[in-house]
Structure 1
Amino acid sequence: MLGLYNCTQCCPPRTSSGASCLLEVLQAWSTHLSSSKLDKISAPGLHWHYLNRLDEYLDIYGVTYQCFHWKKGTPFAEDQGIYNRLTWWEQMDNGKQLTRNRKFITVVPVVLYLIASHTTDYQHPMLFFNTVAVFVLVVAKFPHMHKVRIFGINADQ
């Protein structure tokens, strides 16, 4: 199991952080998709409509924003604080924009937004919340937002 996420094959030493290297491994894509479906398996008594909301809000919007756009630094101590001021999204692919990893992680919330909007029959309250959440996630992933802190939120003190 540990061999699946061996980052020494995909990342040369000292060119990227350990957190971004984990995201460059292709198995991380399948982990991202399968983890968003675990709540549907773990709660079989709930209606599919509610599970879809739970999946979208908690897994995709909440966890994705927390992990990629809020959390700074790396979980590893070898980098000696080089990446402490960068979010995981800014560390991914050494800061290169529009790579296949970044495109994949940007497309997943958009596709789930389209599915969720269709399953709720485009009803006003759910459509509004879905639109705001996906807008915040997608705008945070734009290349022009690299290292930008809006209103000083999550800025270094």
Structure 2
Amino acid sequence: MSRPTTIKLPALDLSAAKSHTPLRARGRSGSIVQVEEVGDRSVDEVLDRSAYVNINADWVNAKGAWLIHVVLIIFGKIIVDTIPGMTQQISWTLVNLMYLALSYLMFHWVTGIPFENDLHGGAYDDLTLWEQIDDGAQYTPAKKWLVTVPIGLFLASTHYTNYNPWLFAINITALIFVLIPKLPQLHRQRVRFMADGASGMATPLTPSFPNSGRSTPTQEVIPDLITEEHFR
């Protein structure tokens, strides 16, 4: 009877697998359009705002504050009509655009308060005049009036321009551009275009080889001795 033949397999060398190069990762670029909230809603900020009367926004509820819009529109219409060769269509369009531009600049572009800012501890630095009116409350009489005036001026300019399609497109585009920041959904919201900075997350590159479904051993495996008995 012959002696069983012993076959010994060489040990697996997994040192190369341990020293594999990790997958590279690339930083995720910033979003093209980013919406972020400004202003602090903490108790300290609320106390700073209520410590003194905000003169910068309190005037909109004063006597004559509503009438001043109508006076400015009429005064601007008279000034524009004095330009030689001015037609009524162009005149109403210019008055509408100038009022909307002034309204947007005053209520939605400039932030903070121009005077006595130290009395409020900088609580209004990031807020526009529209966001300061009535302490940020929505659908107040003052805000309803400030929404009604540009809409009424747009309707008047549309009527006196004889519903010219080109002038109508210009006027309604300017109106929408001014009304959008007045929406309650955009209160204290800022739309940033081409915002800098990465998102803080890394996007891993997809490996070039598929997953085998088995876990990779982390230590060397010494196989058992294989004899002829295994093949019987």
**Could you say if the C-alpha distance between residues 117 and 26 of structure 1 is closer, same or farther in structure 2, counting changes exceeding 3 Å?**
same
Scaled by the length of structure 1, what TM-score is found? 0.80
Using the alignment, how far apart are the partners of 1:97 and 1:90 within structure 2? 9
Taking only aligned residues, the RMSD between alpha carbons, in angstroms, comes to 1.9
Whether the aligned pair in 1 keeps the contact of 2:61 and 2:142 (CA below 8 Å) is yes
Correspondent of 2:124 among 73, 77, 83: 83
Whether the aligned pair in 2 keeps the contact of 1:19 and 1:75 (CA below 8 Å) is yes
- Report deviation, 1:84: 0.8
- Report deviation, 1:75: 1.8
Instruction: Report what 2:59 is aligned to.
Output: 22
Using the alignment, how far apart are the partners of 1:14 and 1:34 within structure 2? 34
- Amino acid of the structure 2 residue aligned with 1:28: A
- Report deviation, 1:44: 4.4
**Could you say if the C-alpha distance between residues 127 and 44 of structure 1 is closer, same or farther in structure 2, counting changes exceeding 3 Å?**
closer
Query: Structure 1 stretches of 5 or more lacking a match?
Result: 1-12
Query: Structure 2 stretches of 5 or more lacking a match?
Result: 1-49, 195-232
Using the alignment, how far apart are the partners of 1:80 and 1:36 within structure 2? 36
Instruction: Report what 1:118 is aligned to.
Output: 159
Using the alignment, how far apart are the partners of 2:193 and 2:61 within structure 1? 29
Number of aligned residue pairs: 140
- Report deviation, 1:40: 2.4
State, as a whole percentage, how many aligned pairs show the same letter: 27
Greater relative contact order (Cα 8 A, min sep 6): structure 1 or 2? Answer: 2
Q: Report the 3-state secondary structure (helix = DSSP H, G, I; strand = E; otherwise coil) of the residue aligned with 2:51.
A: coil
| Runs (4+) off by over 4 Å | none
Using the alignment, how far apart are the partners of 1:16 and 1:141 within structure 2? 23
Scaled by the length of structure 2, what TM-score is found? 0.56
- Amino acid of the structure 2 residue aligned with 1:121: N
Using the alignment, how far apart are the partners of 1:139 and 1:81 within structure 2? 26
Instruction: Report what 2:91 is aligned to.
Output: 51
Q: Report the 3-state secondary structure (helix = DSSP H, G, I; strand = E; otherwise coil) of the residue aligned with 1:150.
A: strand
- Report deviation, 1:27: 1.3
Whether the aligned pair in 1 keeps the contact of 2:100 and 2:175 (CA below 8 Å) is yes
Instruction: Report what 2:171 is aligned to.
Output: 130
Whether the aligned pair in 2 keeps the contact of 1:53 and 1:116 (CA below 8 Å) is yes
Matched, 1:74 2:113: yes
Whether the aligned pair in 1 keeps the contact of 2:81 and 2:91 (CA below 8 Å) is no
Q: Which has the higher helix share?
A: 1
Using the alignment, how far apart are the partners of 2:72 and 2:144 within structure 1? 19
Q: Which has the higher strand share?
A: 2
Whether the aligned pair in 2 keeps the contact of 1:70 and 1:87 (CA below 8 Å) is yes
